[in-house]
């Protein structure tokens, strides 16, 4: 579609419209824009009005058409369609007057909406006025076409319409760019919160569809939102008013911002859209929006909305918006007729005199009128006698107008325009300030590694221009969900591209303004106290920005030439009331050859601007100026160099060498950063200093590594196949290897697939295979794209510590690599490739769960093995055993195990990191007592293995009588090949330093190895410290709280040692006594004492503590689970820690007389000083919300 036809479509998107005298014929105003192929925009401003149809033939034809239409639909009760526009009463060419729509349109390069609207409105007023305008309409149109210049930046301009002067102003080079569409209307239509949500969708480059009956509303909202993006710019499809002929644009599978006109009475549900999964639908007329699911919120959204609301309230507008429709675009016909020709006011004439656009005659006459009483009396006499002295009347009216003007000598209309302009800029400043805060240090993370513009442009697609991981690591944690998405968008990439290109070219205007603001903020130290602080900072530029606009409108910098008579033939430009004339094309076809007024004022303006620029440049540093000059000198030279595509392969290889080195260096930096981030966190857990990175999402670093691998695999490709070069390479490899597998008897050939060393604990080793891991990914229906599959495969390989090994295996097929890649490609540089694989190998030093933690909904096969202690016949049981595996994401449910089969596999939704196993049996059969050493569970996709130590009996009448035990898991690191098949080992970093020194559980229970009082007190302190440290970590970095409570060295373990100290557990000729027996007897004593009234005299708090202790112990005893006495003790400690009751229960136990029968005199529980210090330690946990896994607490009713 060419420019002219598209303009015509957008002037009347619905085509011609007819009305009768009974229908509303209020003129309408709307605007539109056209984006050209080079990205430049052209704005159109349209005034649509209705004009009487005088042709009898057209009137007769319309009556005939309407009669035919009514005859076809005589059975229908519907009114005639809106396209006809005639009322339901029909149309009679004799009785009714027929009107047809006409449109006047101004096309401009910049969006001076208010000025164009006023001008078109005045032209229409001249058409419908009963008196002809002072000059033919051609004079005013010629004037605005050829004699009204664009105001220079930072200047204001006044030009003359048919009746009143019109003002427009343009922001300076350091201000926000021109935006003349009223933001107040957009905020009132949608409300602050809705508009911020739409703004977020636009920033994340989703599909946004605006929907309204009113074209101008579509334009106001679309332009309003895009102007708020400063310093960023929308990079995708942008059609605020979508003509009916272009509806296929909605099928575009790309981000877009489009506006669609709704038909009157059409329901939203009847609107059929091609795709809505990632669509933000904005129903402007209904003031509601439909958002895509699960998109991140804008940082500090609540405070941001509050600040915007305060700005709106200061201008008397509601933040919630309202259903009140905006003022009519054009006033009614009656009011138009009242506004007849008005004369220029005194102040305007004075301004004109200052700007050199008027001779002295008019001013002299006015001054004479002001000081000469005789002339004043003459004018009064003329009025009384009905004699009109037009010139004197006009000048006197102008003098009166001075007194009727608003504040500062402005009319009410000008005041309203100024108010809207100030509100516009203040709202925009709030948005701009948010970006200035978020990206205050963005320059530090821009990667500028190109020697010249030409090489940068050539390698643009493969280059990494922004260190995203490092940038995110410096951001406050609440910002990360939004920022990690936003820095992946095209608008951010273009922003960074513009920054890099500013080394060699003039800065892009928006970037120049943004950088200037950041520099100013640094100069005045107006920013957050810390980069990582998420403290909200309000905008400090509101008054300053509003004052700049007010000053420009108070003091007009330039006045354009007045409209004047043109060299027209007699009879041309004839006025006919109510009809827009056919303009004389020969007069308007070309502009003036010599415009002395324009030349004179523009040259004066240039001199002033040049003087101002000289003053501005005086403050620039000489070195900075020299740098700019050098870049300017180099620019032409660089552009004259031949392009890389024109060079021979040898020269290309040489030119790419620096790029290869850059990729290798980036790989080294990224892997090092990943290790530092991971090990830094673990070092803090071990007490070695503080981490220098806090709140950084591991996800960001891994996503950045995926980006790097994709760029390496994209470098030097012979032919691009698919969106992911890495996945394409893997598919080629898979095809070749599967062909080889079919040719060979054994699937394992040439050592390409091997098994990990056999584990000593009974689990068969997993096969190490590139192809097998690919098949896991290919079977995941959740992933739809090749890029997604490649990233999932990288994550899986990284979690299995096989990334380097897998990629080495992939690249070992040199014939395939040569077929896919050119000689200069990174993957064909042998030495660099080996170093690259070595850097990736270093990532095996740390544990990642980047696959398990991301794909949380997939089904995963698990394998579990129960390992009994082989002592006599207790390795087997005749009972029916069961187990339930729990992890951070859920549990498997109860799984029945086949009798005498100690191994099982099961599929269930991803459990995440495994935390507990519940193991039990039904106590049936002759051999119902079972001595279990441990349970091993392995994730069959990731290979992660967990050991759940037990070392206890399950069975009635043995040990503590438990038929069910909750086992706490510990992650097991598989042995490397160098370990010589020694089996599995617990990772050293899983234990704290104190645990390494500490005596193990088994040695504690042995004779002669009981812990000392000092060791017990230390272990309690360390257990409590571990829980406190857990809560001081960022939420996403915390491990399992269950391990800290119930695992080795946990709180339960430490308190168990405390209660066992001095406990008389062994009995001659009797069963052993457990700590739980002491609790039960204490409860029995309290309940008995309560019945006989001994507890009624105790203080109230102590009485309440007795009641809670008895209630908890009885609830645990009454639950249906057979968890044994030690299991009950564990549960009571966990519940007491959760409900902050442990410190309150300890005094009850020490004061109960039962203690003297069950504890030695030197027991810690009988030492009041020790118990007091224990109470103080346990009370430190009261500040933290302890939550318990359901595997621990189920069946307990409190």
Out of 420-429, 951-960, 1100-1109, the most confident range is: 420-429
Tell me which CATH code domain 183-297 carries.
3.40.50.11500
State the number of CA atoms in the 13 A half-sphere of 521 facing the CB.
25
| DSSP-assigned letters across all residues of 281-341 | EEETTTTEEEPPSS-PPPTTHHHHHHHHHHHHHHTT--TT--SPPPPPSS--HHHHHHS--
**What is the number of other CB atoms lying within 10 angstroms of the CB of residue 768?**
18
**Residue 69 binned pLDDT confidence (cut-offs 50, 70, 90):** confident
**Is residue 694 over pLDDT 60?**
no
pLDDT (tens digit per residue) in 575-591: 777 788 887 777 778 77
**Is residue 1002 over pLDDT 50?**
no
CB-based contacts of 528-537 (< 8 A; 24+ apart in sequence)? 528/437, 528/440, 531/440, 531/441, 531/474, 531/475, 532/474, 532/475, 532/476, 532/694, 532/695, 533/476, 534/299, 534/300, 534/476, 534/477, 534/478, 534/479, 536/300, 536/303, 536/304, 536/307, 537/433, 537/437
pLDDT (tens digit per residue) in 927-941: 778 888 889 999 999
Domain 183-297 and domain 859-989, same fold? Reply is no
pLDDT (tens digit per residue) in 153-185: 888 888 988 888 888 888 888 888 888 888 888
Q: Indicate the DSSP class of residue 190.
A: H
Task: Give residue 841's pLDDT.
Answer: 93
Helices 301-314 and 412-438 pack at an angle, to 10 degrees, of 160
Task: Give residue 723's pLDDT.
Answer: 61
H/E element holding 1024? helix 1013-1032
- 1167 or 611, higher pLDDT: 1167
Task: Give residue 573's pLDDT.
Answer: 60
Class level of CATH domain 859-989: mainly beta
Say what the alpha-carbon torsion angle 506, 511, 513, 515 is, to the nearest 10 degrees: -100
**Is residue 463 over pLDDT 80?**
no
Taking alpha carbons only, the member of 165, 549, 169, 168 closest to residue 358 is 165
Structure tokens at 498: 């513009």
**Angle (nearest 5°) at CA 1126 between 1125 and 1129:** 90
Taking alpha carbons only, the member of 500, 389, 371 closest to residue 448 is 500
Q: Which of 26-30, 510-514, 645-649, 1156-1160 shows the lowest mean pLDDT across its residues?
A: 645-649
Gyration radius of the chain's alpha carbons? 41
**Interval 618-628 mean pLDDT:** 41
H/E element holding 157? strand 156-160
**Is residue 99 over pLDDT 70?**
yes
- 643 or 888, higher pLDDT: 888
- State the burial class of residue 1105 (Cβ atoms within 10 Å of its Cβ: 0-12, 13-18, 19+): buried
Give the torsion sign (CA, 83, 84, 85, 90).
Answer: negative
335 Cα distance to chain centroid: 49
Task: Give residue 659's pLDDT.
Answer: 65
**Is residue 540 over pLDDT 80?**
no
Task: Give residue 349's pLDDT.
Answer: 36
Cis omega (within 30 of 0) on the bond before 231?
yes
Classified as helix, coil or strand, 908 is: strand
Task: Give residue 803's pLDDT.
Answer: 93
Classified as helix, coil or strand, 517 is: helix
**Interval 220-231 mean pLDDT:** 92
Q: What's the CATH fold of domain 991-1198?
A: Methane Monooxygenase Hydroxylase; Chain G, domain 1 (1.20.58)
Q: What's the CATH fold of domain 649-845?
A: Methane Monooxygenase Hydroxylase; Chain G, domain 1 (1.20.58)
- 1091 or 313, higher pLDDT: 313
Q: Which of 81-85, 739-743, 864-868 shows the lowest mean pLDDT across its residues?
A: 81-85
**Interval 1134-1152 mean pLDDT:** 88
Structure tokens at 1108: 């809670």
Out of 113-117, 381-385, 452-456, 601-605, the most confident range is: 113-117
The C-alpha atoms of residue 1169 and residue 1160 are separated, in whole angstroms, by 16
User: To the nearest whole number, what is the mean pLDDT of the chain?
Assistant: 75
State the number of CA atoms in the 13 A half-sphere of 910 facing the CB.
16
**Is residue 361 over pLDDT 60?**
no
- The owner of tokens 């501005």 is 616
pLDDT (tens digit per residue) in 849-884: 888 888 888 899 999 998 888 765 456 677 888 889
**Angle (nearest 5°) at CA 546 between 540 and 551:** 135
Taking alpha carbons only, the member of 699, 772, 765 closest to residue 733 is 772
H/E element holding 548? helix 542-554
Structure tokens at 681: 């966190």
CB within 8 A of 1148, min separation 6: which ones? 1082, 1086, 1102, 1105, 1106, 1109
- 1105 or 165, higher pLDDT: 165
- The bridge status of strand 945-954 relative to strand 970-974 is antiparallel
**Is residue 1106 over pLDDT 80?**
yes
| DSSP-assigned letters across all residues of 349-372 | HHHHHHTT-S-SHHHHHHHHHHH-
CB within 8 A of 328, min separation 6: which ones? 26
**What is the number of other CB atoms lying within 10 angstroms of the CB of residue 457?**
17
- Contact between 699 and 1039 (Cβ < 8 Å): no
Q: Where are the domains of the chain?
A: 3-173+563-597, 183-297, 346-404, 649-845, 859-989, 991-1198
Q: Indicate the DSSP class of residue 170.
A: -
Q: What's the maximum distance between 2 C-alpha atoms anywhere in the chain?
A: 138
The C-alpha atoms of residue 392 and residue 381 are separated, in whole angstroms, by 12
């Amino acid at each position: 579609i060419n420019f002219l036809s598209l303009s015509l479509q957008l002037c009347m998107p619905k085509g011609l419209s007819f009305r009768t005298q009974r229908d509303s014929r209020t003129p309408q105003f709307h605007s539109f824009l056209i984006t050209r192929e080079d990205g430049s925009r052209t704005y159109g401003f349209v005034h649509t009005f209705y004009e009487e149809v005088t042709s009898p033939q057209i009137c007769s034809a319309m009556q005939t058409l309407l009669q035919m239409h009514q005859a076809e639909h005589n059975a229908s009760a519907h009114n005639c369609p809106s396209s006809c526009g005639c009322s339901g009463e029909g149309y009679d060419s004799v009785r009714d007057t027929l009107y047809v729509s006409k449109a006047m349109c101004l096309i401009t390069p910049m969006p001076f909406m208010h000025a164009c609207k006023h001008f078109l409105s005045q032209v229409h007023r001249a058409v419908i006025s009963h008196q002809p305008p002072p000059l033919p309409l051609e004079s005013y149109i010629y004037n605005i076409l050829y004699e009204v210049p664009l105001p220079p930046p930072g200047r204001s301009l006044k030009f003359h319409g048919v009746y009143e002067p019109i003002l427009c102003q343009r922001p300076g080079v350091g201000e926000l760019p021109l935006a003349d569409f009223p933001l107040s209307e957009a905020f009132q239509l949608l409300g602050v919160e809705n508009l911020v949500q739409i703004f977020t969708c636009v920033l994340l480059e989703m599909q946004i569809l605006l929907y309204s009956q009113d074209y101008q509303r579509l334009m106001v909202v679309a332009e309003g939102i895009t102007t708020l993006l400063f310093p960023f710019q929308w990079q995708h499809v942008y059609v605020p008013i979508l003509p009916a002929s272009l509806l296929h644009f909605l099928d575009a599978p790309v981000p877009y911002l489009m506006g669609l006109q709704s038909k009157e009475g059409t329901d939203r549900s009847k609107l059929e859209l091609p795709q809505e999964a990632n669509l933000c639908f904005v129903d402007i007329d209904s003031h509601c929006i439909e958002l895509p699911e699960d998109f991140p919120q804008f940082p500090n959204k609540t405070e941001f909305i509050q600040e915007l609301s305060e700005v709106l309230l200061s201008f008397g507008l509601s933040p919630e918006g309202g259903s009140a429709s905006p003022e009519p675009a054009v006033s009614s016909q009656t009011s138009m007729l009242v506004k007849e020709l008005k004369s220029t006011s005194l102040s305007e004439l004075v301004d004109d005199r200052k700007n050199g656009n008027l001779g002295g005659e008019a001013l002299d006459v006015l001054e004479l009128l002001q000081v000469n009483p005789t002339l004043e009396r003459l004018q009064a006499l003329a009025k009384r006698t009905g004699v009109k002295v037009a010139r004197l009347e006009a000048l006197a009216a102008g003098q009166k107008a001075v007194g009727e003007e608003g504040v500062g000598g402005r009319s009410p209309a000008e005041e309203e325009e100024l108010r809207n302009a100030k509100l516009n800029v203040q709202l925009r400043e709030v948005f701009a300030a948010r970006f200035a805060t978020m990206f205050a240090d963005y320059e530090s993370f821009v990667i500028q590694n190109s020697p010249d513009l030409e090489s940068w442009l050539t390698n643009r697609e493969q280059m990494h221009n922004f260190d995203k991981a490092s940038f995110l690591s410096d951001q406050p944690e609440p910002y990360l969900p939004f920022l990690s998405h936003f820095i992946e968008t095209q608008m951010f990439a273009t922003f960074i591209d513009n920054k890099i290109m500013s080394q060699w070219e003039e800065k892009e205007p928006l970037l120049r303004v943004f950088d200037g603001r950041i520099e100013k903020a640094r100069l005045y130290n107006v920013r957050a106290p810390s980069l990582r602080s998420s403290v909200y900072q309000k905008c400090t530029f509101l008054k300053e920005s509003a004052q700049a606009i007010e000053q420009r409108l108070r003091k007009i910098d330039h006045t354009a030439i007045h409209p004047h008579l043109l060299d027209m033939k007699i009879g041309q430009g004839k006025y006919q009331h109510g009809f827009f004339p056919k303009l004389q094309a020969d007069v308007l076809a070309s502009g003036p050859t010599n415009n002395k007024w324009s030349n004179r004022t523009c040259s004066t303006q240039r001199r002033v601007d040049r003087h101002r620029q000289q003053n501005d440049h005086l403050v620039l540093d000489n070195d900075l100026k020299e740098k700019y000059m050098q870049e300017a000198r180099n620019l032409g030279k660089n552009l004259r160099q031949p392009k890389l595509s024109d060079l021979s392969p040898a020269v290309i290889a040489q030119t790419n060498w620096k790029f290869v080195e850059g990729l290798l260096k980036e790989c080294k930096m990224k892997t090092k950063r990943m290790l530092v981030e991971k090990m830094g966190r673990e070092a803090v857990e071990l007490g070695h200093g503080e981490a220098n990175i806090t709140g950084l999402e591991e996800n960001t670093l891994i996503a950045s590594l995926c980006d790097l691998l994709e760029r390496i695999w994209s470098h030097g490709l012979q032919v691009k196949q698919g969106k992911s070069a890495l996945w394409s390479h893997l598919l080629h490899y898979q095809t070749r290897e599967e062909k080889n597998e079919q040719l060979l008897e054994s699937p394992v050939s040439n050592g390409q697939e091997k098994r990990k060393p056999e584990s000593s604990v009974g689990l068969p080793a997993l096969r190490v295979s590139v192809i097998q891991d690919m098949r896991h990914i290919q079977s995941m229906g959740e992933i739809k794209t090749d890029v997604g599959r490649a990233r999932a495969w990288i994550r899986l390989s990284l979690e299995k510590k096989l990334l380097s090994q897998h990629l080495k295996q992939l690249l070992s097929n040199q014939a395939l690599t040569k077929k896919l890649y050119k000689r200069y490609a990174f993957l064909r540089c042998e030495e660099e490739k080996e170093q690259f694989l070595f850097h990736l190998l270093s990532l095996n030093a740390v544990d990642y769960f980047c696959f398990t933690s991301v794909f949380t909904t997939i089904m995963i096969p698990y394998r579990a093995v129960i390992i009994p202690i082989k002592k006599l016949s207790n390795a087997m049981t005749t009972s029916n055993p069961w187990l339930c595996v729990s992890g951070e994401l859920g549990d498997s449910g109860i799984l029945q195990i086949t009798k005498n089969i100690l191994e099982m596999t099961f599929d269930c939704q991803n459990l995440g990191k495994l935390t507990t196993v519940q193991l039990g049996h039904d106590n049936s059969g002759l051999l119902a007592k079972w001595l279990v050493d441990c349970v091993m569970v392995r994730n069959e996709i990731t290979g992660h293995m967990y050991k759940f130590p037990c070392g206890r009996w399950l069975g009635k009448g043995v040990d503590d009588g438990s038929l069910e035990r909750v086992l706490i898991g510990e992650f097991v690191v598989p042995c490397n090949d160098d370990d010589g098949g020694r089996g599995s080992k617990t990772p050293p970093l899983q234990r704290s330093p104190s645990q390494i020194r500490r005596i193990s559980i088994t040695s504690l229970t042995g004779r002669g190895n009981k812990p000392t009082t000092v060791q017990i007190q230390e272990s309690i302190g360390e257990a409590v410290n571990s829980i406190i440290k857990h809560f001081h970590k960022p939420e996403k970095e915390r491990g399992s709280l269950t391990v800290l409570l119930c695992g080795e060295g946990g709180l339960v373990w430490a308190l168990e040692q405390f209660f066992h100290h001095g406990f008389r557990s062994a009995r001659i000729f009797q069963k052993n006594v457990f700590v739980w027996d002491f609790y039960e007897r204490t409860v029995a004593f309290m309940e008995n004492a309560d019945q006989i009234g001994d507890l009624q005299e105790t203080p109230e708090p102590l009485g309440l503590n007795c009641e809670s202790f008895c209630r908890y112990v009885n609830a645990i005893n009454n639950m249906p689970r057979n968890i044994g006495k030690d299991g009950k003790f564990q549960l009571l400690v966990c519940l007491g820690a959760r409900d902050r009751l442990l410190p309150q229960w300890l005094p009850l136990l020490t004061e109960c007389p039962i203690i003297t029968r069950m504890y030695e005199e030197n027991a810690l529980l009988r030492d009041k000083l020790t118990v007091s210090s224990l109470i103080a330690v346990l009370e430190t946990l009261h500040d933290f919300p302890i939550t318990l896994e359901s595997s621990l607490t189920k069946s307990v009713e409190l």
